[in-house]
């Protein structure tokens, strides 16, 4: 991963998620509720979490975000309560690693969108974040690492 954007080919990734249409001001609460529920459901089904937490967006968030948050899993889960099986898509993506607080992610996405345009590419409707660093209350937000991936049209 790099702080310099690149276009890479990715394979689909199986995920267990909670879906929502959430006002941006309420995203933190949605993430907290979802991430507290998901591990229990995944474990109760004998599945295993296979990587760091993710958030997949159906288009760049405006005042409201249509998204799913969850974890990659080694095997698909069954729908249970709010938890559903899903996937991160495969194909060509523009990818960059963001170092810093979550409050700076909007600017990081804007910079990635500009970079995509500079490359003569067209961003698709699906984009996602992988939270490489698990946050904790005592950590410095500057130490957070988030991988941004934006599926390109024609991918």
- Residues 64-99 have pLDDT tens digits of 999 999 999 999 999 999 999 999 999 999 999 999
Per DSSP (E only), the strands in the chain are 6-10, 13-23, 54-58, 64-72, 83-88, 91-99, 123-131, 145-152
On whether the 6-152 domain is CATH 3.20.80.10, my answer is yes
pLDDT for 61: 83
Q: Which element (helix H / strand E) includes 29? A: helix 27-44
- Digit-coded pLDDT (tens) for 20-39: 999 999 998 999 999 999 99
Task: Calculate mean pLDDT across residues 112-125.
Answer: 96
Q: What is the DSSP letter of 49?
A: B
Q: Which residue has the tokens 């910079």?
A: 111
> pTM of whole model > 0.85?
yes
Residue 108: partners with Cβ closer than 8 Å, 6 or more residues away = 96, 98, 100, 146, 148
């Amino acid at each position: 991963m790099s702080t310099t954007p690149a276009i890479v080919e990715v394979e689909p990734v199986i995920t267990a998620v909670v879906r929502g249409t959430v006002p941006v001001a309420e995203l933190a609460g949605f993430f907290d509720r979802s991430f507290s529920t998901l591990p229990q459901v995944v474990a109760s089904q004998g599945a295993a979490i296979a990587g760091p937490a993710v958030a997949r967006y159906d288009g760049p968030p405006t005042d409201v975000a249509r998204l799913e948050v969850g974890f990659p899993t080694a095997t698909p889960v069954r729908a249970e309560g709010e938890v559903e099986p899903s996937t991160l898509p495969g194909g060509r993506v523009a990818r960059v690693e963001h170092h810093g607080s979550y409050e700076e992610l909007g600017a990081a996405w804007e910079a990635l969108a500009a970079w995509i345009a500079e490359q003569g590419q067209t961003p698709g409707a699906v984009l996602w974040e992988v939270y490489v660093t698990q946050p904790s209350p005592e950590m410095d937000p500057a130490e957070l690492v988030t991988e941004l991936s934006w599926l390109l049209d024609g991918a």
